[in-house]
Amino acid sequence: MAEQRFKPRVVPIQPTSYAQQQACDRLDEELEHIHEPISNKVAYVKSQSQTRNHTCHWIGCNRQVPPALWGCRQHWYMLPKHLRDKIWATYEIGQEATMSPSDEYLEVADEVQRWIQEHS
């Protein structure tokens, strides 16, 4: 007999007041970047050009890269995939233009810098 797996049923919660609706809308806006497909982020980053002085984030690398990029190609691919994935997951489209990366992105950036120091 095949094992039966429990499948949770997702039931959307309906706000019962205007204030609850506003709170739900704000939460949706805050969480929107989490649901942004990586492919959209990749397409955006690839479409960006050099708009200001911005160097690769690898310690000691002075190569100029578009501000939307984390770093130069060589150093990007020297990072382990799990760290590159974390950067993509926390990157928000346009954060380099508004100069307001999320706290989550900054935490990952610190983690990456520690990894570079330990492995260079």
Q: What is the C-alpha separation between 23 and 30, in angstroms, rounded?
A: 11
pLDDT digits (tens, 9 = 90+) for 12-68: 556 677 777 776 666 656 555 555 788 888 888 999 999 999 999 999 999 999 999
Q: Is the pTM of this model over 0.85?
A: no
Q: What is the C-alpha separation between 63 and 118, in angstroms, rounded?
A: 21
pLDDT digits (tens, 9 = 90+) for 55-103: 999 999 999 999 999 999 999 999 999 999 999 999 999 999 999 999 9
Q: What burial class does residue 110 get, using C-beta atoms within 10 Å of its C-beta: 0-12 exposed, 13-18 middle, 19+ buried?
A: exposed
Residue 8 has pLDDT above 50, yes or no: no
pLDDT at 21: 73
CB of 46 closer than 8 Å to CB of 56: no
The domains of the chain are located at: 37-119
pLDDT at 28: 59
Q: What angle do CA 45, 50, 54 make, to 5 degrees?
A: 95
